[in-house]
Structure formats: structure tokens, C-alpha cells
């Protein structure tokens, strides 16, 4: 697919009815600061569409975007942010549960991990949760520009091993260079 139009629809604390609901959805999950909002902006080629920040924990709400007047992209709140207390973690869990139990048109989750690091316990838990729910997932390794081309496989292997996917099933992605954008868009077609 190619993205010809992208617009912000709404922010939701708790997932529920919003204008245009019912279209197919693709959601984006990952740790705080992994690059979810940046990926949305680079994918849609609209600067500032999703708010990004150097400070983790920016996206606490569920942000909904409309692509090509026919698809909703869902920016989910990040997890694994250190400065979050038990109460906030519980709220996060409840919001995610509500989303995954309520959305009837979710086609796939784009799961983001930082290409430089081995997946965290939270990443593993998230992936296990999606698999248990039978939700198709597409793994994207973000911030690929931060490592050399030669080091790609060395970084992808432990990620693929930990998350039990084939290394070639992980899309290396950079929001700054645009690397991986075409590959990701092509993969999205498989889910829609």
C-alpha cells in the first residue's frame, strides 16, 4: 500500500466509540521511547502527526489516526517506562486489555523493539500476550540508523531468537532515514 492521506482522529484514555469506528485497524505497540510515534510520522510522511519526545512516556493515551480514509492506525501507550508506579501500570494494563478485548477490526499489531537491545521482559510478555490472543504480529526493529549495516544481523539474531521469529521476518526500520518504510508498507498489505 501507499499512504496518500493521514489525519489525527482522536485520543482516548479508554478505548470506546469514536468517529468512523469500524474500519480495519493496525495497532503499534512497544516500550516507551522505542519510536512508535516517530514511526507513524515517517510512515505517513507527516511531521508532528504523532507527538514524539525524547522523554519516555509521552504517549499515555490511545491515539487514533486515519489513513487513506480507509484504515485506522492506533498508537498504543508505551510500556516499560521506569518512572511508573504500580497504580499507573495497572491503569496501563486495563487500558490495553480493554483495547484488545473491544476492538473488533484489529488486523495486526506492529510490535516495535529497539534494534540495539535484546527484547525486555515486557517485550516478551507483550508478544506472548498477542500470540495467546491470536493477533497477527509484525516485528519491527527501530532506530536501525544507530548501528552500521554490517552489524544488522548480529543485532537481529538475538532479537529473533528471544521472540521466536525468523530473522528475515523482522523489518529493520529507521524513522530518520526512511529505511524499512517500503518493506513495512508491503508487509501491511498481507494483513489487510
Q: Which stretch binds Mg ion (CB under 5 A): 36-44, 94-102, 132-140, 161-169?
A: 36-44
Q: Which of 26, 29, 32, 64 binds ligand GTP (CB under 6 A)?
A: 32
Give all strands of the β-sheet with 106-114 in edge-to-edge order: 6-12, 62-67, 71-75, 25-30, 106-114, 137-142, 170-172
Q: Does 142 bind Mg ion (CB under 5 A)?
A: no
Q: Which is nearer to Mg ion, 112 or 156 (CB)?
A: 112
Helix axes 152-163, 121-133, angle to 10 degrees: 60
Q: Which of 37, 42, 111, 175 binds Mg ion (CB under 5 A)?
A: 37
Q: What is the distance between the terminal CA atoms of the chain, rounded to a whole angstrom? A: 10
Q: Is residue 38 within 8 Å of 175, Cβ to Cβ?
A: yes
Q: Does 32 bind Mg ion (CB under 5 A)?
A: no
Q: Does 142 bind ligand GTP (CB under 6 A)?
A: yes
Cα separation, 119 vs 123, in Å, equals 6
Scanning residues 91 to 120, which ones bind ligand GTP (CB under 6 A)? none
Residues that bind ligand GTP (CB under 6 A): 30, 32-38, 52-54, 56-59, 78, 142-143, 145-146, 174-176
Amino acid at each position: 500500500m501507499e499512504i496518500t492521506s493521514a489525519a489525527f482522529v482522536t485520543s482516548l484514555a479508554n478505548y470506546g466509540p469514536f468517529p468512523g469506528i469500524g474500519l480495519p485497524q493496525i495497532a503499534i505497540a512497544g516500550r516507551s521511547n522505542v519510536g512508535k510515534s516517530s514511526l507513524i510520522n515517517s510512515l505517513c510522511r507527516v511531521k508532528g502527526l504523532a507527538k514524539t519526545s525524547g522523554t519516555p512516556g509521552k504517549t499515555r493515551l490511545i491515539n487514533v489516526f486515519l489513513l487513506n480514509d480507509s484504515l485506522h492506525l492506533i498508537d498504543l501507550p508505551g510500556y516499560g517506562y521506569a518512572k511508573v508506579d504500580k497504580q499507573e501500570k495497572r491503569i496501563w494494563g486495563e487500558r490495553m486489555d480493554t483495547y484488545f478485548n473491544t476492538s473488533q477490526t484489529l488486523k495486526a499489531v506492529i510490535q516495535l523493539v529497539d534494534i540495539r537491545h535484546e527484547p525486555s521482559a515486557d517485550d516478551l510478555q507483550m508478544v506472548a500476550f498477542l500470540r495467546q490472543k491470536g493477533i497477527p504480529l509484525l516485528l519491527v526493529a527501530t532506530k536501525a540508523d544507530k548501528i552500521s549495516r554490517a552489524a544488522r544481523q548480529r543485532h537481529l539474531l538475538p532479537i529473533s531468537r528471544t521472540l521466536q521469529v525468523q530473522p528475515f521476518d523482522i523489518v529493520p526500520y529507521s524513522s530518520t532515514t526512511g529505511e524499512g518504510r517500503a518493506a513495512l508498507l508491503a508487509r501491511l498489505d498481507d494483513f489487510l
